[in-house]
Amino acid sequence: MTSGGIRYEPPADVAEALRVQEELRSRVDLVGPGPTAPTTVAGLDVAYAESGDRLAAAVTVLDAATLAVVDEAVVVGRPAFRYVPGLFAFREMPALLAALDRLTVRPELLVCDGHGLAHPRRFGLACHLGLVTGLPAIGVGKTPLVGEWAEPGPERGAWTPLRDGGEVVGRVLRTRDEVRPVFVSVGHRMSLANAADRVLALTPRYRLPETTRTADRLCRQALAAALA
């Protein structure tokens, strides 16, 4: 049980969701620095049915050194909120927490498929998940939501700051040579530099972290099985 059996009620509407973000944002730990050599790292991802009314949320826990999957859990359910940019977390949170609850191993770090601080109100999915579970968390987005940046160098490891409203909210990080960069931001209890290091440690071969790749495969197959 990773979330400690945390209860999580989705908001009734957009106004309430905004109030919840406003209330929780101040409780995010932006100091970190978080684990530099974690033993286990979890990846979280969600797959949706084309009808849009069903989803599968998966969590995979990897041995941080070998990147082998040591635990996993997946739940099929319904989106808890309609998709609204900036309120994305409310959609997947209940299912992801349910999946986390089914883990046997409590991971030392959560790698989320979406942003953390790189969010219009500095409270993206990674912040929300980290805060609710109490675990260190980072966000790895495939496309930007907010901010401006300069193109990082072409080699793996190159990065540039992602800035929004004058503040650095993340890093645009190249995880593979000559491949489109990813957007890394702090979720909870992590420093930005450590978050970027952890992402590089999870991307020995592909653009996206192994954690999100394994979670992605798991939720897709679970959704297909559930719909069959």
Q: Residues binding DNA: what is the number (CB under 7 A)?
A: 27
Site string for DNA, 151-170 (x = CB under 7 A): --------------------
Do the beta carbons of residue 17 and residue 90 sit within 8 Å? yes
Based on the number of CB atoms within 10 Å of its own CB, is 120 exposed (0-12), middle (13-18) or buried (19 or more)? Answer: middle
Q: Which of 7, 26, 50, 228 binds DNA (CB under 7 A)?
A: 50
The answer to whether 29 is a known ligand-binding residue is no
Do the beta carbons of residue 67 and residue 210 sit within 8 Å? yes
171 forms part of the interface with DNA (CB under 7 A): no
Pairing state of beta strands 69-77 and 167-173?
unpaired
Do the beta carbons of residue 153 and residue 114 sit within 8 Å? no
- Which residues are CB-contacts of 39 (< 8 A; sequence separation ≥ 6)? 63, 64, 65, 108
86 forms part of the interface with DNA (CB under 7 A): yes
46 forms part of the interface with DNA (CB under 7 A): yes
143 forms part of the interface with DNA (CB under 7 A): yes
Mark the segment that binds DNA (CB under 7 A) among 1-9, 32-40, 65-73, 82-90: 82-90
Q: Which of 32, 139, 147, 181 binds DNA (CB under 7 A)?
A: 139
* Residues of the binding site for Mg(2+): 45, 113
